[in-house]
Amino acid sequence: MLKTLNDFVLNPLSWWLLAASALCLEFSALFFQYGLGLEPCIMCIYQRVAILAIMAGGIIGAIGNNLLLFRLIGHSLWAVGAIWGLFIAIEHVDIQSNAGSLFYTCDLIPNFPTWMPLHEWFPAIFEATGDCGEISWSFLGYSMPQWMIVVYGIYTALFAIFFSARIITILKK
């Protein structure tokens, strides 16, 4: 099984599937925003960036999967996007759970680096107009950030499985 997992990491298809899944989530976010009229909050925007990191990792891994450096960059973006997104989603659920508290609030303007103000360059995608504490959508009794915990948990678990398989295979040689 370890060999199968390792071979899958070395196959560009696995990386394209990672990128495609993240792209579908980005399109879903835009559908929720523009199709259903749900306004994204700061935490939603940060989660979009985390998904973009996963997508970028998938694209880089697919294009350069034969080169160790590109695979490492792909794995790094995947890991950072998945783990950072998971923390952001958990924090978002905390904000929603404590919506009336003064200690659980979110910013009004995204805290992007000054050299990369995504909310100014691409306001249609990265401008936050919603309230972090508002639950405006749910499915099966779970809010959007709760579902994103599941999504990021899956991305994180898959990263751990595939990266570990690759490392173990390398160490066995």
Q: Domain 2-147+158-172 is in which class?
A: mainly alpha
The residue annotated as part of the active site, out of 24, 71, 106, 166, is 106
Sign for the CA dihedral angle at 153, 157, 162, 166 comes to: positive
Any catalytic annotation for residue 41? yes
166 in catalytic set:
no
Cα-flanking dihedrals φ and ψ of residue 130, to 5°?
-100, 175
Respond yes or no: is residue 106 known to be catalytic.
yes
pLDDT of residue 105: 65
- Whole-model pTM: value is 0.86
Q: How many CB atoms lie within 10 A of CB 9?
A: 19
Per run of 10 residues, the mean pLDDT along the chain (length 173 residues) is 69 91 94 88 89 95 88 92 94 79 66 70 75 76 89 94 81 73
Distance of CA 145 to the CA centre of its chain: 12
Q: Name the residue ranges covered by the structural domains of the chain.
A: 2-147+158-172
Q: Is 44 a catalytic residue?
A: yes
- Token reading at 51: 């998904």
Active-site residue, 132 included: yes
